[in-house]
């Protein structure tokens, strides 16, 4: 094959042997999702343009956005963990993805949140999500959820740390962990003046004014 990924994966013959067939977890997850009663919770990284056209007419959607400066740093560390390709991947079309959500922000079945809101006042966001989903929440449950969703708790939660992928030899968690720091403004530790200027120029050229709407700096 001529695809560069084929040549990268060939460097890891043990991975080729493990994944000649479907992922063992894939069938289990599909069966589980199919068997769950409605309403079900599904997660995706897909933009609206790659989701069912009438999704918002039948489902509630929570869309989470984040400052692209912090996103690109997180993206860098995330992909360095993948032993099959390191960071030799494209920086995805961030603004078109976000723009599709922004265009739908007034739809009653869409809740558009930011990572910054989560970090600044997590209990307030939990209440907003509960109201959006029509789920009353007690003070005791609020305390439990707030503790459960804290970054330190997330770091120790196997369900969100790609444990299966690491056990199957796809990830090197020594690169910083699947859940890393989760803080705001961490990009300032990585960007020098030249990088910051280039990023600002990219935002001006491609950002559709969304950076200002979200007050990201």
Give the domain CATH number at 141: 3.40.50.300
With respect to residue 47, please indicate whether it lies within any of the assigned structural domains: yes
Phi and psi torsions of 192, nearest 5°: -90, 180
Phi and psi torsions of 61, nearest 5°: -125, 130
- Asked if residue 18 lies in contact with residue 169, where contact means CB atoms within 8 angstroms, the answer is yes
pLDDT confidence of residue 162: 63
Lookup result for tokens 């609020």: 142
With respect to residue 27, please indicate whether it lies within any of the assigned structural domains: no
pLDDT confidence of residue 58: 92
- Asked if residue 70 lies in contact with residue 184, where contact means CB atoms within 8 angstroms, the answer is yes
With respect to residue 142, please indicate whether it lies within any of the assigned structural domains: yes
Lookup result for tokens 């918002």: 56
With respect to residue 72, please indicate whether it lies within any of the assigned structural domains: yes
Per 3-state DSSP, what percentage of the chain is helix, strand, and coil (rounded to 5)? 55, 5, 40
With respect to residue 4, please indicate whether it lies within any of the assigned structural domains: no
DSSP labels, 156-213:
T-GGGTTHHHHHTTSB-GGGT-SS----TTGGGGT--HHHHHHHHHHHHHHSTTHHHH
With respect to residue 173, please indicate whether it lies within any of the assigned structural domains: yes
With respect to residue 16, please indicate whether it lies within any of the assigned structural domains: no
Cα distance between residue 89 and residue 112, in whole Å:
27
Cα distance between residue 63 and residue 74, in whole Å:
18
Catalytic residue among 45, 78, 85, 150: 45
In the predicted model, residues of the chain with pLDDT beneath 50 are: 1-10
Q: Structurally, how many domains does the chain consist of?
A: 1
Cα distance between residue 211 and residue 217, in whole Å:
8
With respect to residue 79, please indicate whether it lies within any of the assigned structural domains: yes
Would residue 150 show up in a list of annotated catalytic residues for this protein?
no
Lookup result for tokens 């690109």: 72
Enclosing domain of residue 133: 41-213
């Amino acid at each position: 094959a001529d695809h560069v990924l084929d040549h990268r994966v060939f460097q890891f013959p043990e991975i080729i042997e493990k994944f000649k067939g479907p992922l063992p977890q894939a069938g289990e997850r599909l069966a589980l999702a199919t068997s769950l009663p409605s309403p079900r919770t599904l997660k995706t990284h897909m933009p609206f343009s790659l989701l069912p056209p009438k999704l918002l007419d039948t489902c509630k959607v929570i869309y989470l956005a984040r400052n692209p400066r912090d996103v690109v740093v997180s993206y860098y560390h995330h992909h360095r963990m993948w032993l099959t390709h390191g960071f030799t991947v494209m920086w995805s079309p961030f603004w078109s993805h976000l723009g599709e959500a922004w265009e739908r922000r007034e739809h009653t079945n869409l809740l558009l949140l930011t990572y910054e809101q989560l970090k600044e006042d997590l209990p307030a966001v939990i209440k907003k999500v509960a109201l959006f989903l029509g789920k009353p929440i007690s003070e005791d449950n609020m305390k439990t959820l707030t503790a459960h969703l804290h970054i330190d708790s997330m770091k120790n939660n196997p369900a969100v740390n790609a444990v299966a992928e690491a056990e199957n030899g796809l990830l090197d968690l020594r690169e910083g962990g699947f859940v890393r720091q989760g803080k705001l403004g961490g990009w300032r530790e990585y960007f020098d003046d030249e990088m910051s200027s280039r990023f600002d120029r990219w935002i001006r050229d491609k950002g559709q004014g969304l950076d200002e709407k979200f007050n990201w700096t």
